[in-house]
């Protein structure tokens, strides 16, 4: 199979305007991935599926990943005039990197038996712009998996034919696989609570004692 | 001929049915409470605590290091460390569990507690007839219910228990040999200097154990 | 929902266009209003039936919302989640090792292959090597798992068709012998929790290989009996041939894997494609179906059992001595470096994959299970449309689902 750089170059040539970026994976698995811009994701996906050398017709795995907002502290030295004297001042800047949600597609080829080529789609943020284009029209196998990501992570897949909750029930509000998901306080008596379970159980003990 | 294969299939069924009267191979069921299958040695169900010779409180191998509590995937183990210490099998003073509870309604019999235990103190039991009418209390096993003698361990897992005993004995022998060598060295040093006391002190008597938790 | 990115002719192929597509084609053609003949007489109404979740044909707690025209299925929507316990969240909240016993509970028929898939993904993530003996043991156990899974699937499928008991009990009789092997090795019949990162947990007990050889040598006898009992059975053929057709192109597009995919004639077996473990050392073939109907899916499994037996014969013959775990692998305090890995194996039900992201902590940052029987259900509706309700039951049976894995 071609290297990821070659795939990137050919995809960018085939889909005008597409911006791809290689995401390096430092682990021994060395499964690097391609980050695709949302506007051209469907076209790039179709290229990967139909290209004669790639023929990635099998979307094996679609998974969501939640990356929280991160705050990076940076110390910046600057020179400023204070009382007519130039002084060097150190300032700590807090740079807030907005988090995002990611949909990761592991693609393989059944006729050519190669893979994986990993595609990543990113949402703009985790709140109001949690949208990526759906790749279900390209690979039907993504249908239930994208529904699952919508259900558990809250990514809206534009163009998905049937985007409903799949594992949680219809009236459910939150997205349980998000990192900041707070479990509901559904207390149940347990004989040996400890650690986190005990912390959650404590308020209920007090209530029972009062009653 | 239509139905030929069905007749052939019926012949297979008939062979199995009639065969069950003559061949044990074909008769695969047993009348359970009256007849019992022998369990294989590796069978595991719920954990128990091993104690050596004699008193279950003195001989408990567990030193309340809480590794199993931390590693247990469903978090069904609950340990409270003791305030005082008692000697372990080598003679080194160690803590012991003041409370050791296993909630068998949560335990999933994965054996990870056994694998991570550095003291060979927790092992898997083969007892499976544990039904009880008390959903919470009856399935919560305390230290006194969990403690079982090393002889019982030998009975249910003979090969494994033999290996563990050999390993522990080797460790003990190593420690004793070292203590003996140390004592001899000290004795030599003492012979050179006129000192009245020999230093090969045995560890103090076991501290009195706290009352068994209710 | 916007439909700007979708071109009309790019919709993935399907036998019918009933599922509503984003471009407006394939809008469901059913309505619950009474059907009226040209003369104006009422012909009949569509009937909505909720099959399940407590229904013996659903192999667990699984529901199908079916719309029927007479006895024909015009719409079928699977409803999941009755057994959902958020396995992936549990995996992210525990250590790498502590997830291993939880994987047993995914597809509770095949805990050995679940263990292997997870161990494989972690080994890729952490760069661990597996000793040769452990590789052989893994192959032996995975193929034994495949035997017992396919045998019981044959029984369950026949049970769905109305062959109450007999084939299933014969299959379970054989399965029991394999479970006895698992028990004497790992201590548990179904929740084996046997594999570890970089190897296996314990070595074989004395006499195990002989016992396994006996099971493997006796198994063809059972298969012959099973095939005599069923293969040419007129009722079986009438019920399964031409039912639940899954065309090749749709099977690939819908990410169908395992025996389902191969029954549709696609030569894609991960044991041959990825050659994970040491599968390149064994001589075996990949059986392929021609029609992609329920009968092919049943036959593929029978043939795969025969091939598994070949692998088992070779593996048990060549089993080397040696250590069973990578000395670098640590049981406690296991922290892989930053990065991610996707590991997959050919589980009896299809491609079972684990996608792990490590942030250097003892717990995985992301732990994802690619469950084969969940994704194989994508095309359940396409296969069932136009068939009668009783056929929908056997089509579902031929997919081979286990709800522990579907709902996770």
Q: Backbone phi, then psi, for A5, in 5-degree steps?
A: -65, -45
Q: According to the model, what pLDDT value does residue B89 have?
A: 65
In a domain, A47, yes or no: yes
Answer whether residue A92 is part of any domain: no
Tell me what pLDDT residue B212 has.
Answer: 41
Residue C274 is encoded by which pair of tokens?
């990825």
**Interface contact A197-B75, CB threshold 8 A:** yes
Would you state the pLDDT for residue C330? 77
Name the band, by pLDDT with cuts 50, 70 and 90, for residue B12: confident
CATH number of the domain that B124 lies in? 3.30.70.3270
Confidence of residue A207 (pLDDT cuts 50, 70, 90): low
Q: What is the pLDDT of residue C327?
A: 78
Q: What pLDDT is stored for residue C387 in this prediction?
A: 87
Count of structural domains within chain A: 2
Which residues on chain C are in Cβ contact (under 8 Å) with A142? 255
For A94-114, what is the mean pLDDT?
A: 87
Residue B211 has pLDDT above 50, yes or no: no
> What CATH number is associated with residue A112?
3.30.460.80
Q: For residues A107 and A141, what is the distance between their CA atoms, to the nearest angstrom? A: 11
For residue C126, the chain A residues in CB contact (below 8 A) are 27-28
Q: What is the pLDDT of residues A170-197, one digit of tens each?
A: 888 888 888 888 887 777 777 777 777 7
Q: What confidence tens digit (pLDDT) does each residue in C113-145 have? A: 999 999 999 998 888 888 989 999 999 999 999
φ, ψ of residue B93 in degrees (nearest 5): -65, 130
Tell me the mean pLDDT in the region B97-114.
87
Please check whether residues A40 and A119 belong to one and the same domain.
Answer: yes
CA distance A178 to A67: 9
Residue A22 three-state SS:
strand
- Asked whether residue B86 is domain-assigned, the answer is yes
Within a domain: B30 = no
pLDDT at B210 exceeding the cut of 50: no
* pLDDT of amino acid C354: 92
Write out chain A residues lying below 8 Å of B136, CB-based: 189, 191
Which residue range(s) make up the domain with A187? 181-211
Residue A70 lies inside a defined structural domain of this protein: no
Contact A140 C273 (CB under 8 A): no
Decide if A29 and C11 are in contact by the 8 Å CB cutoff.
Answer: no
Which residues make beta-bridge pairs with C366? Answer: C357
Give the pLDDT of residue C13.
Answer: 41
Give the tens place of pLDDT for each residue, C177-198. Answer: 999 899 999 888 888 889 888 8
A60 and A109 co-located in one domain: yes
* Residues A139, A160 share a domain: yes
CB A103 within 8 A of CB A149: yes
Give the phi and the psi of residue B46 in degrees, each rounded to 5.
-120, 155
CA Rg value for chain A? 24
Query: Which H or E run includes B47?
Result: strand B47-51
Is A83 inside any structural domain? Answer: no
B71 occurs within a structural domain: yes
Residue A17 lies in a domain: yes
- What is the spatial distance between Cα A170 and Cα A164, in angstroms, rounded to a whole number? 8
What is the Cα–Cα distance from B154 to B165, expressed in whole angstroms? 10
Same domain, A161 and A192: no
A142 plus A195 within the same structural domain: no
- A106 shares a domain with A11: yes
| Assembly ipTM | 0.82
**Is the same domain home to A38 and A105?**
yes
Number of domains in chain B: 1
Token pair, residue C237, equals 């053929």
Q: Is residue A61 part of a domain?
A: yes
SS3 assignment, position C200: strand
User: Percentage of chain A surpassing pLDDT 90?
Assistant: 6
A125 against B92, higher pLDDT: A125
Q: Are residues A144 and A203 both part of a single domain?
A: no
| Best-predicted range by mean pLDDT (A91-100, B159-168, C126-135) | C126-135
Q: What number of C-beta contacts closer than 8 Å exist between A and C? A: 153
Query: Is residue B81 one of the residues assigned to a domain?
Result: yes
Indicate whether B113 belongs to any domain: yes
Least confident of A9-23, A83-97, B153-167: A83-97
Residue A149's pLDDT band (cuts 50, 70, 90): very high
Q: Which domain holds residue B144?
A: 47-149
Distance CA C116, CA C343 (A): 10
Q: How far is residue B38's CA from residue B27's CA, in Å, rounded to a whole number?
A: 17
Q: What is the pLDDT of residue A190?
A: 72
Low-confidence ranges of chain C (pLDDT < 70): 1-37, 39-44
pLDDT of residue C34: 62
Cα C45 to its chain centre, rounded Å, is 37
Q: Does C283 touch chain B (CB under 8 A)?
A: no
Domain shared by A105 and A209, yes or no: no
- Whether residues A153 and A194 share a domain: the answer is no
Alpha-carbon dihedral A56, A57, A61, A64, rounded to 10 degrees: 80
Token readout for C350 is 């299809």
In a domain, A14, yes or no: yes
């Amino acid at each position: 199979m071609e290297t990821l750089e070659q795939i990137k170059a050919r995809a960018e040539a085939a889909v005008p305007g597409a911006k791809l970026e290689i995401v390096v994976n430092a682990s021994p698995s060395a499964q690097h991935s391609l980050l695709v811009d949302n506007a051209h994701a469907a076209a790039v996906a179709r290229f990967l599926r139909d290209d004669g050398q790639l023929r990635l017709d099998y979307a094996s795995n679609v998974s969501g990943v939640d990356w929280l907002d991160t705050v990076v502290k940076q110390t910046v030295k600057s020179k400023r005039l204070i009382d007519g004297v130039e002084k060097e001042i150190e300032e700590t800047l807090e740079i807030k990197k907005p988090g995002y949600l990611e949909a990761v597609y592991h693609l393989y080829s059944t006729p050519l038996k190669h893979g994986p080529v990993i595609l990543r789609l990113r949402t703009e943020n985790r709140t109001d712009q949690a949208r990526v284009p759906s790749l279900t029209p390209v690979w039907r196998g993504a249908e239930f998996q994208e529904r699952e990501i919508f259900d558990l992570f809250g990514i809206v897949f534009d163009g998905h034919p049937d985007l409903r909750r799949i594992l949680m029930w219809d009236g459910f509000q939150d997205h349980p696989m998000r990192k900041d998901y707070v479990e509901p306080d559904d207390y149940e008596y347990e004989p040996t609570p400890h650690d986190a379970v005990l912390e959650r159980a404590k308020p209920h003990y007090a209530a029972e004692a009062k009653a | 001929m239509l139905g030929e294969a069905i007749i052939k299939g019926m012949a297979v069924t008939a062979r199995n049915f009639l065969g069950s009267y003559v061949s044990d191979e074909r008769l695969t069921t047993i009348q359970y409470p009256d007849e019992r299958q022998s369990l294989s040695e590796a069978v595991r169900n719920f954990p128990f605590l091993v104690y050596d010779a004699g008193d279950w409180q003195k001989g408990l191998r567990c030193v309340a290091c809480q590794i199993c509590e931390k590693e247990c995937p469903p978090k069904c183990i609950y340990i409270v460390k003791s305030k005082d210490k008692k000697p372990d099998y080598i003679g080194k003073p160690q803590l012991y569990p003041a409370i050791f509870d296993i909630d068998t309604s949560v335990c999933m019999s994965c054996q990870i507690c056994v694998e991570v235990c550095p003291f060979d103190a927790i092992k898997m039991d083969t007892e499976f007839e544990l039904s009880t009418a008390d959903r919470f209390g009856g399935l919560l096993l305390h230290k006194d219910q969990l403690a079982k003698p090393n002889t019982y361990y030998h009975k249910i897992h003979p090969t494994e228990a033999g290996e563990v005993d050999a390993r522990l004995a080797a460790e003990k022998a190593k420690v004793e040999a070292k203590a003996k060598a140390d004592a001899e060295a000290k004795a030599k040093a003492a012979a050179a200097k006129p000192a009245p006391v020999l230093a090969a002190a045995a560890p103090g008597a076991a501290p009195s154990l706290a009352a068994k938790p209710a | 929902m916007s439909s700007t990115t979708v071109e009309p002719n790019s919709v993935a192929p399907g036998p019918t266009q009933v599922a509503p597509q984003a471009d407006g084609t394939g809008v469901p053609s059913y309505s619950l209003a009474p059907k009226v003949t040209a003369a104006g007489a009422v012909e009949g109404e569509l009937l909505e039936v909720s099959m399940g979740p407590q229904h013996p044909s659903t192999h667990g707690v699984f529901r199908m919302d079916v719309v029927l025209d007479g006895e024909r299925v015009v719409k079928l929507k699977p409803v999941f989640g009755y057994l959902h316990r958020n396995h992936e969240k549990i995996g992210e909240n525990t250590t790498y090792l502590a997830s291993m016993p939880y994987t047993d509970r995914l597809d509770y028929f095949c805990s050995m292959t679940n263990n292997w898939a997870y161990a494989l993904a972690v080994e890729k993530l952490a760069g661990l090597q597996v000793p040769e003996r452990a590789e052989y043991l893994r192959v032996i156990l995975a193929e034994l798992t495949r035997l017992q899974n396919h045998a019981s699937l044959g029984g369950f499928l026949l049970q769905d068709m109305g062959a109450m008991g007999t084939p299933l009990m014969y299959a379970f009789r054989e399965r029991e012998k394999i479970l006895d092997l698992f028990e004497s090795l790992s201590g548990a019949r179904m929740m084996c929790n046997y594999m570890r990162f970089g190897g296996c947990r314990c070595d074989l007990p004395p006499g195990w290989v002989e016992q396994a050889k006996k099971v493997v040598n006796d198994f063809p006898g059972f298969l012959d009996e099973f095939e005599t009992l069923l293969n040419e059975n007129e009722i079986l053929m009438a019920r399964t041939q031409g039912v639940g057709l899954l065309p090749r192109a749709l099977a690939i597009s819908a990410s169908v894997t395992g025996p389902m995919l191969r029954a549709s004639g696609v030569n894609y077996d991960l044991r041959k494609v990825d050659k994970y473990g040491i599968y390149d050392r064994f001589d075996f073939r990949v059986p392929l179906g021609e029609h992609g109907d329920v009968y092919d899916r049943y036959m593929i499994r029978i043939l795969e059992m025969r091939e598994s037996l070949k692998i088992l014969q070779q593996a048990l013959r060549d089993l080397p001595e040696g250590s069973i775990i990578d000395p670098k692998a640590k049981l406690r305090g296991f922290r892989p470096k930053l990065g991610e890995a996707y590991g997959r194996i050919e589980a009896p039900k299809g491609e079972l994959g684990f996608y792990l992201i490590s942030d250097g902590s003892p717990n995985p940052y992301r732990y994802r299970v690619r469950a084969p029987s969940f994704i194989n259900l994508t095309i359940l509706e396409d296969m069932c449309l136009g068939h009668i309700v009783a056929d929908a039951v056997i089509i579902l049976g031929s997919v081979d689902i286990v709800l522990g894995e579907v709902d996770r």
